[in-house]
Chain A
Amino acid sequence: MNLTLLRFFSHEFKKRRKKSALITFALFWGSLSILLLLAFGKGMSAQFRISFSGLGQDLIMISGGQTSKLYQGLPKGRRIRLYPGDIQYLKERIPEIALIAPESYNNWPVSANRKEINRTIHGTTVEFAQMRTQIPQMGGRFLNASDVKDGRKVAFIGWKVGTDLFGTENPVGQKIVINRIPFTVIGVLKKKLQDSMYQGPDADQIYLPYSAFTQIDSQLHIDRIHIQPRETRLSMFIEERVQTLLGKKYRFDPTDRYALSIWNTIDNAKEAGAIFMGIEVFLGIMGALTLLIGAVGVTNLMYAVIKERKQEIGIKMALGAKRRVIIQQFILETLFIFVKGTFWGLVTAFNIIHLVQLVPINYDGFGIEGYLLRPVFSFNTFLIFLVIVGTLVFMSGIFPAVRASRLNPIDSLRYE
């Protein structure tokens, strides 16, 4: 395509500015909706992933259950409990495990600052932090190896526990009393989105070194084992190995699905990911359909343009324009109209998305806004948008263009 020919098209295009105003608006509207729908869809699934990882990253959580099968002469309905020794037992036998941590919990009164509340107190080890996304706020920390080894009386608390007990004061360094034993707060959990939980949101929990927890609680078993595989694809394998190894240790049928309760978040995340992908595609299609209305308008306009410019097409043909030149001109003009309409849609969508992102999310009351207020305008979104627009330009331009190129030069020249 020659630059001078491009200049010709721009002359021609300017003449049609007013006529194409409504269609430009339809394209603006269509592109705005397609971009917003894509961005909100993407944002929803991203937020879902974040809130899902609020519970933990690639986690397998195992707790004791009740046997449902006879095994080696033992009756069904036996209670299976996990014990601290299982951690070492599994770690040694399953090298595919990257991280493993025990967790025990119980409800105890917690007091500080002349206030008393009831909260779930957990005992665990250092690895728990990484697996369960326990990120401390500035100025604090999670439990460390010495805390666990020495049974130090320290506590890592959820942000709501902090405000419940200390208000706006910084809880780090303060004393709290759990079951009449004083503990020092060493860190407060950073705010996060969390949509899956077992003892309520992490915002409400208190974590102690496992060795300190056993000093206030007399239970011997542990409630839960957290495992993170070296690679996510190993999760099913690890699940089976745990079932076999613990089955051997506690004498239950390794195929008994009720002897242990296993929560594999990797599997759940995969499933949910597929659902959200479906939602994204659906929203994208909705947007594309809206833009399609604009595209139909463009096709109509282009047919009208052919009629209006019949003589001009005839002149060009008489001067030796090949079919390709006429087709190019019409496709290019379609492209111009699209670029003009969709550009403002793009700018507007971009701004709306960035404004919405500024709205703060309330991490305490978990609601739909957590999913809706973080739309994502990614390069991928833009790419998908370009592909859709490109397809529509071609589809809405090619038919009028081919018709124009098939005009009879004589009829066109005579047309007035």
Chain B
Amino acid sequence: MNKGDTIIKFNKIKKIYHMGTQTLEALSGVSLQIAAGEFVTFMGPSGSGKSTLMNIIGCLDTPTEGEYFLEGKNVAGLTFDQLASIRNKMMGFVFQNFNLLPYATAWENIELPMLFNGKNTKKRKERITELLNEVGLLKWKEHRPSELSGGQQQRIALARALANDPPIILADEPTGNLDSKSGIEIMELLSRLWKKGHTIIMVTHDDRLASHSQRIIHLFDGREADA
């Protein structure tokens, strides 16, 4: 896929949650397109549907209605394992609360996505070393998350997101749990990745962070605010 081609296309995506007798429409017909190599930020108050949108983009969740084309292919109807494979190869997740495995070392955490697609030991070793160098944490490789600062943990999470070199990075409030200095470091890393050609999709409340991106999409009550 070339830079500028449409990598993500939403066509009237709806997501409805059923909770007992109540139904909640988290997304009510969102249509949007994101080009490969774009840096897009979703903003909006809580409950506006940004996280749901991110989850559907990341194939962690499926839409109730509408079509989602990823690299031109309709994602609807794919099996759990096919979606798992897409998450593994095409998506890199960065979460607000890092979501590292607590008992595993920094090295092992980065290794995990590569274990799920059977990369051999030599390739894994090379890639992890490269990534740890990139986030500047090579000498922390044997440390567990509890022995690292928040900023360091998020850098490890970012390295893990990049393990299989996915085209799309999904960052859900990536600096939400960090001090401002660490937050800036993470944003710099994300910017660097964008410049390298990754498509970055971020969710944030923070206008200053959003200013790093090319395009801001405001969401309100499950739809685009300017739509």
Q: Could you tell me if A320 and B104 are in contact, using CB atoms closer than 8 angstroms? A: no
Q: Could you tell me if A311 and B112 are in contact, using CB atoms closer than 8 angstroms? A: no
CA distance A315 to B101 in the complex (A): 8
Given A8-B108, A11-B103, A312-B101, decide whether A319 and B55 contact each other with a Cβ distance below 8 A: no
CA distance A409 to B54 in the complex (A): 13
User: B80's contact among A15, A318, A319, A323, by CB below 8 Å, is which?
Assistant: A323
CA distance A309 to B35 in the complex (A): 37
Cβ proximity bits A1-30 to B, threshold 8 Å, 1 near / 0 not: 010110110011001000000000000000
User: B115's contact among A2, A311, A317, A409, by CB below 8 Å, is which?
Assistant: A2
Task: Return chain A residues, CB-CB under 8 Å to B108.
Answer: 4, 7-8
Cβ proximity bits B55-79 to A, threshold 8 Å, 1 near / 0 not: 1001011000000000000000000
CA distance A208 to B57 in the complex (A): 100
Task: Return chain B residues, CB-CB under 8 Å to A322.
Answer: 80-81, 84-85, 116
Task: Return chain A residues, CB-CB under 8 Å to B117.
Answer: 320
Q: Could you tell me if B87 and A323 are in contact, using CB atoms closer than 8 angstroms? A: no
CA distance A314 to B113 in the complex (A): 13
Given A11-B104, A409-B60, A410-B55, decide whether A320 and B160 contact each other with a Cβ distance below 8 A: no
User: A316's contact among B61, B80, B111, B112, by CB below 8 Å, is which?
Assistant: B112
Task: Return chain A residues, CB-CB under 8 Å to B84.
Answer: 317, 320-323
Task: Return chain A residues, CB-CB under 8 Å to B14.
Answer: none
- Taking the nearest CB of chain B, how far is it from the CB of A326, in angstroms? 10
Closest to B89 in A: A320
B33 proximal to A (CB < 8 A):
no
Task: Return chain B residues, CB-CB under 8 Å to A316.
Answer: 112, 116
Task: Return chain A residues, CB-CB under 8 Å to B154.
Answer: none
Contact count band on A: 20 to 34
Task: Return chain B residues, CB-CB under 8 Å to A395.
Answer: none
CA distance A167 to B88 in the complex (A): 86
Interface residues of A in 362-416 (CB under 8 A from B): 409-410, 413
Q: Could you tell me if A318 and B85 are in contact, using CB atoms closer than 8 angstroms? A: no
User: Interface size (B, Cβ < 8 Å)?
Assistant: 29
Most chain A beta-carbon neighbours within 10 Å: one of B80, B81, B93, B101: B101
B180 proximal to A (CB < 8 A):
no
- Taking the nearest CB of chain A, how far is it from the CB of B73, in angstroms? 17
CA distance A322 to B115 in the complex (A): 11
Q: Could you tell me if A410 and B88 are in contact, using CB atoms closer than 8 angstroms? A: no
Task: Return chain B residues, CB-CB under 8 Å to A319.
Answer: 87-88, 93, 112-113, 116, 160
Q: Could you tell me if B101 and A413 are in contact, using CB atoms closer than 8 angstroms? A: no
CA distance A15 to B102 in the complex (A): 11
Cβ proximity bits B103-127 to A, threshold 8 Å, 1 near / 0 not: 1100010011101111001000000
Q: Could you tell me if B80 and A325 are in contact, using CB atoms closer than 8 angstroms? A: no
Given A320-B85, A320-B87, A322-B81, decide whether A5 and B55 contact each other with a Cβ distance below 8 A: no
Task: Return chain A residues, CB-CB under 8 Å to B113.
Answer: 319-320
Closest to A316 in B: B112
User: A410's contact among B61, B121, B160, by CB below 8 Å, is which?
Assistant: B61
- Taking the nearest CB of chain A, how far is it from the CB of B186, in angstroms? 19
CA distance A413 to B99 in the complex (A): 8
Task: Return chain B residues, CB-CB under 8 Å to A324.
Answer: 81
- Taking the nearest CB of chain B, how far is it from the CB of A321, in angstroms? 5
Task: Return chain B residues, CB-CB under 8 Å to A11.
Answer: 103-104
Most chain B beta-carbon neighbours within 10 Å: one of A319, A324, A325: A319
Most chain B beta-carbon neighbours within 10 Å: one of A318, A321, A322, A325: A318
CA distance A274 to B50 in the complex (A): 73
Given A11-B103, A410-B61, decide whether A320 and B88 contact each other with a Cβ distance below 8 A: yes
Q: Could you tell me if B104 and A8 are in contact, using CB atoms closer than 8 angstroms? A: yes
Interface residues of B in 141-192 (CB under 8 A from A): 160, 164
CA distance A315 to B93 in the complex (A): 10
CA distance A321 to B100 in the complex (A): 15
Q: Could you tell me if A315 and B103 are in contact, using CB atoms closer than 8 angstroms? A: no
Task: Return chain A residues, CB-CB under 8 Å to B112.
Answer: 8, 316, 319
Task: Return chain B residues, CB-CB under 8 Å to A318.
Answer: 58, 60, 87, 93, 99
Task: Return chain B residues, CB-CB under 8 Å to A7.
Answer: 108
Q: Could you tell me if A315 and B99 are in contact, using CB atoms closer than 8 angstroms? A: yes
- Taking the nearest CB of chain A, how far is it from the CB of B66, in angstroms? 18
Task: Return chain B residues, CB-CB under 8 Å to A315.
Answer: 99-101
Task: Return chain A residues, CB-CB under 8 Å to B121.
Answer: 4
CA distance A15 to B95 in the complex (A): 25
CA distance A379 to B113 in the complex (A): 43
CA distance A175 to B121 in the complex (A): 85
Closest to B55 in A: A410
- Taking the nearest CB of chain A, how far is it from the CB of B121, in angstroms? 8
CA distance A318 to B92 in the complex (A): 9
Q: Could you tell me if A12 and B103 are in contact, using CB atoms closer than 8 angstroms? A: yes
CA distance A11 to B101 in the complex (A): 11
Most chain B beta-carbon neighbours within 10 Å: one of A7, A12, A315: A315
Cβ proximity bits A313-355 to B, threshold 8 Å, 1 near / 0 not: 0111111111111000000000000000000000000000000
Task: Return chain B residues, CB-CB under 8 Å to A320.
Answer: 84-85, 87-89, 113, 116-117, 164
Most chain A beta-carbon neighbours within 10 Å: one of B58, B99, B100: B99
CA distance A312 to B95 in the complex (A): 13
Q: Could you tell me if A311 and B104 are in contact, using CB atoms closer than 8 angstroms? A: no
Instruction: Give 25 pairs: A residue, B residue, CB < 8 Å, sorted on A.
Output: A2-B118, A4-B115, A11-B104, A12-B103, A15-B103, A311-B99, A317-B60, A317-B84, A318-B58, A318-B60, A318-B93, A318-B99, A319-B88, A320-B85, A320-B88, A320-B117, A321-B116, A322-B84, A323-B84, A409-B60, A409-B61, A410-B55, A410-B60, A410-B61, A413-B95
Q: 9 tightest A-B contacts by CB?
A: A320-B88, A319-B113, A320-B116, A11-B103, A322-B81, A320-B87, A409-B60, A322-B84, A315-B99
